[in-house]
């Protein structure tokens, strides 16, 4: 089975480490599993030398100042995934969900949020002044 894992990047963190562990385990089980990263950031090159993510950049940048900015450029990610032809697309973290919204060619999608989604917590007036709470 061909399983594509989409993640914003491989900075040191729990979701990133879990994604690497999943891909490593799937490969040991005989599956074709790859990580498609939206950025070149990879803090795990030494820890996981056999896993080199495929870079499929997305240009989505959330902004408070320009709420009506253009939608993200998803063509590079979509074209890269179409060429790879996955059976399953497994997204990690909300930025991956945004980047995948134009890609519908996989028979199975799995969304893995990894946190309590602070942007979706019931808002208070004070929250609208805190950019980190709004954008997560």
d(CA 8, CA 87) in angstroms, rounded, equals 20
User: Residue 19: which residues within 8 A CB-CB, separation 6 or more?
Assistant: 5, 7, 10, 35, 92
Q: What's the pLDDT at 47?
A: 95
Instruction: Give the per-residue pLDDT at 61.
Output: 54
pLDDT of the chain along its 136 residues, tens only? 999 999 999 999 999 999 999 999 999 999 999 999 998 999 999 999 999 999 987 655 555 555 444 444 546 888 889 899 999 999 998 888 878 877 767 788 888 777 665 555 666 666 556 656 555 5
Please choose, from the candidates 127, 91, 126, the residue with its C-alpha nearest in 3D space to the C-alpha of residue 111: 91
User: How many structural domains is the chain composed of?
Assistant: 1
Q: Starting from the edge strand earliest in sequence, which strands make up the sheet with 54-55, in order?
A: 54-55, 32-37, 2-7, 88-92, 108-112
- CATH code where residue 75 lies: 3.40.50
Q: How far, in Å, are 22, 39, 48, 130 from residue 9 at the CA level? A: 15, 5, 14, 24
pLDDT of amino acid 69: 46
The CA–CA distances, whole Å, from 53 to 8, 62, 63, 78 equal: 11, 24, 27, 16
- The reported pLDDT for the residue numbered 18 is 95
CA atoms of 55 and 40, how far apart (whole Å): 6
Which structural domain, as residue segments, surrounds residue 114? 2-135
DSSP code for 45: T
pTM of the predicted model as reported, rounded to 2 decimal places: 0.76
């Amino acid at each position: 089975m061909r399983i594509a894992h989409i993640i914003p990047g491989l900075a040191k963190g729990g979701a990133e480490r879990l994604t690497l562990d999943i891909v490593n385990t799937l490969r040991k089980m005989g599956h074709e599993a790859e990580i498609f990263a939206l950025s070149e950031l990879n803090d795990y090159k030494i820890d996981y030398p056999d896993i080199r993510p495929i870079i499929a950049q997305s240009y989505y940048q959330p902004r408070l100042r320009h709420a009506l900015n253009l939608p993200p450029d998803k063509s590079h990610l979509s074209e890269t995934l179409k060429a790879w032809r996955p059976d399953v697309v497994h997204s990690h973290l909300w930025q991956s969900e945004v980047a995948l919204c134009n890609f519908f060619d996989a028979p199975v999608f799995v969304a893995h949020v990894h946190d309590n989604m602070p942007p979706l917590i019931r808002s208070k007036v004070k929250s609208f002044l805190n950019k980190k709470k709004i954008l997560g």
